[in-house]
């Protein structure tokens, strides 16, 4: 399970250091794609395979399913970690998430999210956690 928050800087050529704790769990190769809330999602190969299978099982006649599959699969890229523990973030993904210099990597269970640092701060103030916690009760948490 991925957890924790790490701040890193994107190098001039679009390289990002992946924290060692995340690298240990991800392995040498993994998938990165567009995510919800204008961040990027990172999946290890087993989680990605499970997600692909779920997307494949959606009926072709379901317009929302087709659009969601295009969103996730169309932008997906396989990444490999170099000797310095970095990955090359594809420019299309950096542009989507607005990541130019400062990034935040956040472990959220089965995936990692990569955020533009300013967007992370704006979107995740957690001021409304009491209200959200009440809604989680209905989901069994």
The pLDDT tens digits for 105-133 are 999 999 999 999 999 999 888 888 888 88
Rounded Cα distance between 11 and 92, Å, is: 16
Contact indicator for 7, 16 with CB cutoff of 8 Å:
no
CA 127 → CA 4, 21, 123, distances in Å?
Answer: 19, 28, 10
- CB count within 10 Å of CB 60 equals 8
Rounded Cα distance between 109 and 81, Å, is: 21
The pLDDT tens digits for 44-58 are 999 999 999 999 999
CA 56 → CA 62, 65, 110, distances in Å?
Answer: 12, 9, 19
Contact indicator for 42, 34 with CB cutoff of 8 Å:
no
Contact indicator for 19, 91 with CB cutoff of 8 Å:
no
Statement: the pTM of the whole predicted model exceeds 0.85? yes
- Domain holding 76, by residue range, is 2-137
CATH of the domain at 94: 3.40.1550.20
- Domain count for the chain, please give it: 1
């Amino acid at each position: 399970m991925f957890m924790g928050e790490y701040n890193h800087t994107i190098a001039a050529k679009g390289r990002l250091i992946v924290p060692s704790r995340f690298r240990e769990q991800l392995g040498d190769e993994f998938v990165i794609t567009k995510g919800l809330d204008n961040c990027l999602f990172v999946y290890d190969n087993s989680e990605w395979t499970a997600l692909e299978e779920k997307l494949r099982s959606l009926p072709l006649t379901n317009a929302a399913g087709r659009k969601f599959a295009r969103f996730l699969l169309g932008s997906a890229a396989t990444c490999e970690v170099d000797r310095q523990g970095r990955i090359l973030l594809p420019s299309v993904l950096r542009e989507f998430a607005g990541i130019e210099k400062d990034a935040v990597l956040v472990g959220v269970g089965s995936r990692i999210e990569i955020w533009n640092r300013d967007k992370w701060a704006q979107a995740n103030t957690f001021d409304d956690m009491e209200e959200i916690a009440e809604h989680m009760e209905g989901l069994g948490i």
